[in-house]
A and B are shown apart, each in its own frame.
Chain A
Amino acid sequence: MWRLQAVQHKASRSAKDLEEFKHKRREHEKALRQARRDRQLISKRVLLNEDEHQEREFMETDASPLSQEQLQEMIRNVQHGGEEKAARLAFLRKVLRDPQTHLIFTKLENSMYVLVGQLSGHNAQCQLEAARCFYELSHSPHPGVGQSCLPATPYLLTYLSNPNAKLTELCLYTLGNLWTEGAKVRERLLAQGIVCALTNCIQNQRNNLAVVEAAGFTLSQLLQDKEAADRVIQQVVSSGLVPHLISYLKPDPEFGLGPAIECAWCLHYIVSRTCDASALLTQGVLERCSSLLVTLGGAVVKGSTEEGLELLLWPLLRCLGNLLASGVCEGGRCPVGLEDARLLAALCVFSQAYLPTHSALTRESLWVLNNLTAGSTLFCSALLFFNVVPALIPLLPFSKGINIMVLRILGNVAHNGTGYCAQLTQAGLLPAICATLKMADPDVVTMSLEVLYLLIASSPNVTEEFIKLNGIQLMETIQYNNDEEQRLRASYLLDNYLHIHSIPNN
């Protein structure tokens, strides 16, 4: 018999069932996507200190996980350790480096109580070792381990203003890791005043860059969370933290880029969520971002291989790009903080230098350049004056949004009229446009036609030059393209500019 009669065929399900099925499927896929996204986006910090290198060798010789009884024994040793407590805690910490012990440890009856007791005790060394234990637990791969650290959080928060910088740093990373452990933990930390504690920490610990970096990391974890972001940002802005974050946007030759990276990400999250950027602009954020980009541009040109350079570029570019999108650049005036023309050079450097390795950075540098030039005669003139166009034209063959962005920039310049178009043409733009008009991506071709229109409409000389480059044949080919947008534009150019121009006068 035909099998499908015996088995329920898909087509025989009712429409309602089908809708329900589709809905469930969609929800399931959404959950899968969210989980995948969370795995990729949620970051936990794992520190590796020098002394731990030696300890790792020690650990590798003894690879079998400890049993419940052994862990219980260790906890008892800590509790009744007397003078030896710190040493026994240190031993416990080494054991906890093995993630397999986490689940067993947290389920033991006394374990967290003892550890919290040591954390909150009077012995500074014990506090430090206990904090290290919590740190190991905070980046556990096992779900639920983080939640069991909740009893420790009030003390971790208190120690953010502790004079012992090492302890503060550890507490910060622990809190930053714990923040990702679920809504319950986040609610608790917010209620316990984590934002206030972080603000005080960043404001007061200026001299210790390691602490600033750790605090920046933790704050960025808070700001990244969509549900809490609004509350966090409000508190951060009203506490006057933004100028402090801005002040850390400078590389320290000895310490490195860490603090600048973390603070830049914090600023990016704040800027991208803020509707009214004017308050931020008055605090000098444009000037600081611009000057740091110029410094980094100089470093890249010299071939700097400093670690983390790209990590700093992403948030800076996005910060600047977003701030510019609020329209500060329009007209003939220069916005306060962007007077340094070297910024244009720096953006060109990034767009070229990162093309082979991080082409998305190329695209984002160009995006910032687009926002600088859109509607601004000053920046468009500067682009021409400083010979930026010959640096942009070689980027036109590259896809993935790079050539579209370059065409936008050139369009921004050409839109200003005859004088600008003349210089663009002199810089050799027409042959490059002829090449982009032949590309496969329809968006690229349409954008090229837009730029071409601006050039041709600016002066008959440009039209003549274009015709010499076989422009008419090129347009006629496009008239037979699939894409209606392209056909309309090509026909318009032919009817209004090209055929008229080539009609010989009798």
Chain B
Amino acid sequence: MLHSSLLELLEGSDPTQINISTVPVLERSELQPGRRGGGGGEGAEEADCPFRFSPHSLTLCEYIINISKYILFHLFLTFFSVSEFRCHITSCKQLFDTLEGYEHHYNSLHRHVCSNCKRSFPSNHLLDIHIQEWHDSLFQVMAEKQCMVIFIFKERGKRRNLKPSTVLFTFYLFSKTKEKRTPQQREDCMAVSSLEVSQHRETENCEEMDISLPQESEKPELVPSQQPKPRYSYRVPSSICFGQGSVRGFRGGRKKK
């Protein structure tokens, strides 16, 4: 509810009360500079003052850019920009002359940003996967216990020698010893590859984004309190099919021959 004085104002009609020129204008004054212990010079404090705010009006374009992370752009495109403007994200200085160009830029580079490490991703799905991989402690714990597979995207088999009903998955494999790895070891352990999964498996696997692959004989070596050696996991469960005549494993493929 509005304060009664505001309501009175709105309903008022007395010209002396509603004319803004009758409002007493308060005197303006400058800010008091901060005082460091020991009394440093004022000039030195002003130089390293991190505060940047100054009152300024915003054009509709600037207003939209400032709230870009909260809005869907295309609903504002009944407005056209007059002149060039910059992306308002501090580290990005790119210039634009249309709102559509800025929309595309913002959606690809600034909308799906990891708040922890500031990396940007072109889609929400990839951002989710990144967060799970790097910043999700529950996922880390689960990955310790068993291999985790996350599907990045799937597409219908369009290539000549695949049946149309097959579904291709591209995925990351997280093996158990992920946490202790150096970046180089990590690179070796992760396999990124396209697999062919036959149709009748689709209903089992593709509904969930994460599936855990049962591992058979490696449990004795994975007591968490020990430092396990980096292990390469070549075992693939029987539920995944690499196509007729293929070797069942994750080796090869990433390095060019």
Q: Hey, which bits of chain A sit against chain B, CB under 8 A? A: 1-7, 9, 11-12, 30, 33-34, 36-37, 40-41, 224, 226, 229, 269, 272-275, 294, 297-298, 301, 318, 321-322, 324-325, 327, 329, 332, 334, 338-342, 344-346, 348-349, 352, 360, 363-364, 367, 370-371, 373-375, 377-382, 384-388, 390-391, 399-401, 404, 408, 411-412, 415-420, 423, 442, 447, 449-451, 453-454, 457-459, 482, 485, 488-489, 492, 495-497, 499-500, 503
Say whether, besides A3-B196, A3-B246, A325-B59, A390 and B3 are in contact (CB < 8 Å). yes
Q: Is the CB of A386 within 8 A of B35?
A: no
Q: CA separation between A401 and B36, bound complex, in Å?
A: 35
Closest residue of chain A to B118 (Cβ to Cβ) is: A482
User: In the assembled complex, which residues on chain A have CB atoms less than 8 Å from the CB atom of B253?
Assistant: 2, 4, 9
User: In the assembled complex, which residues on chain A have CB atoms less than 8 Å from the CB atom of B66?
Assistant: 401, 404
Name the contact of B19 in the complex, choosing from A341, A371, A442, A454 (C-beta under 8 A): A341
User: In the assembled complex, which residues on chain A have CB atoms less than 8 Å from the CB atom of B254?
Assistant: 11
Q: Is the CB of A500 within 8 A of B31?
A: no
Cβ of B58 within 8 Å of any chain A Cβ, yes or no, is yes
User: In the assembled complex, which residues on chain A have CB atoms less than 8 Å from the CB atom of B204?
Assistant: none
Q: Is the CB of A485 within 8 A of B26?
A: no
Q: CA separation between A325 and B9, bound complex, in Å?
A: 25
Q: Is the CB of A301 within 8 A of B55?
A: no
Say whether, besides A345-B6, A450-B52, A401 and B67 are in contact (CB < 8 Å). yes
Q: Is the CB of B28 within 8 A of A275?
A: no
User: In the assembled complex, which residues on chain B have CB atoms less than 8 Å from the CB atom of A388?
Assistant: 6
Q: Is the CB of B34 within 8 A of A497?
A: yes
Q: Is the CB of A381 within 8 A of B25?
A: yes
Name the contact of B116 in the complex, choosing from A1, A338, A458, A482 (C-beta under 8 A): A482
Query: 4 closest A-B pairs (Cβ-Cβ)?
Result: A496-B34, A417-B29, A401-B67, A450-B53
Residues of chain B in range 38-84 having any CB-CB distance to chain A below 8 Å: 45, 48-60, 62-63, 66-67, 70-71, 74-75, 77-80, 82-83
Cβ of B245 within 8 Å of any chain A Cβ, yes or no, is yes
Q: For the side of the interface on B, what is the size category?
A: 35 or more
Q: CA separation between A190 and B27, bound complex, in Å?
A: 55
Q: Is the CB of B23 within 8 A of A381?
A: yes
Q: Is the CB of B26 within 8 A of A416?
A: yes
Q: Is the CB of B246 within 8 A of A1?
A: yes
Shortest A502–chain B CB gap in Å is 12
Shortest B118–chain A CB gap in Å is 9
Closest residue of chain B to A225 (Cβ to Cβ) is: B80
User: In the assembled complex, which residues on chain B have CB atoms less than 8 Å from the CB atom of A274?
Assistant: 82
Binds A, one of B10-18, B138-146, B205-213, B228-236: B10-18
Shortest B117–chain A CB gap in Å is 9
Q: Is the CB of A503 within 8 A of B37?
A: yes
Chain B interface helix/strand/loop/mixed: loop
Cβ of B92 within 8 Å of any chain A Cβ, yes or no, is no
Residues of chain B in range 66-115 having any CB-CB distance to chain A below 8 Å: 66-67, 70-71, 74-75, 77-80, 82-83, 90, 100, 103-104, 115
Q: Is the CB of A387 within 8 A of B6?
A: yes
User: Would you give 13 A-B contacts (Cβ < 8 Å), ordered by A?
Assistant: A1-B246, A3-B196, A301-B7, A339-B20, A340-B20, A345-B2, A348-B6, A377-B25, A386-B6, A411-B55, A450-B51, A457-B31, A492-B34
Q: Is the CB of A2 within 8 A of B247?
A: yes
User: In the assembled complex, which residues on chain A have CB atoms less than 8 Å from the CB atom of B71?
Assistant: 360, 400-401
Q: Is the CB of B256 within 8 A of A418?
A: no
Q: Is the CB of B57 within 8 A of A371?
A: yes
Say whether, besides A301-B10, A345-B9, A447-B53, A40 and B80 are in contact (CB < 8 Å). no
Q: CA separation between A121 and B135, bound complex, in Å?
A: 75
Shortest A28–chain B CB gap in Å is 13
Name the contact of B55 in the complex, choosing from A36, A373, A390, A499 (C-beta under 8 A): A373
Closest residue of chain B to A443 (Cβ to Cβ) is: B69
Cβ of B225 within 8 Å of any chain A Cβ, yes or no, is no
Given A387-B5, A400-B70, 18 new contacts (CB under 8 A): A5-B257, A36-B74, A224-B78, A226-B80, A229-B80, A274-B82, A334-B20, A338-B20, A345-B9, A373-B55, A375-B57, A377-B26, A386-B6, A415-B55, A417-B30, A450-B51, A485-B90, A496-B35
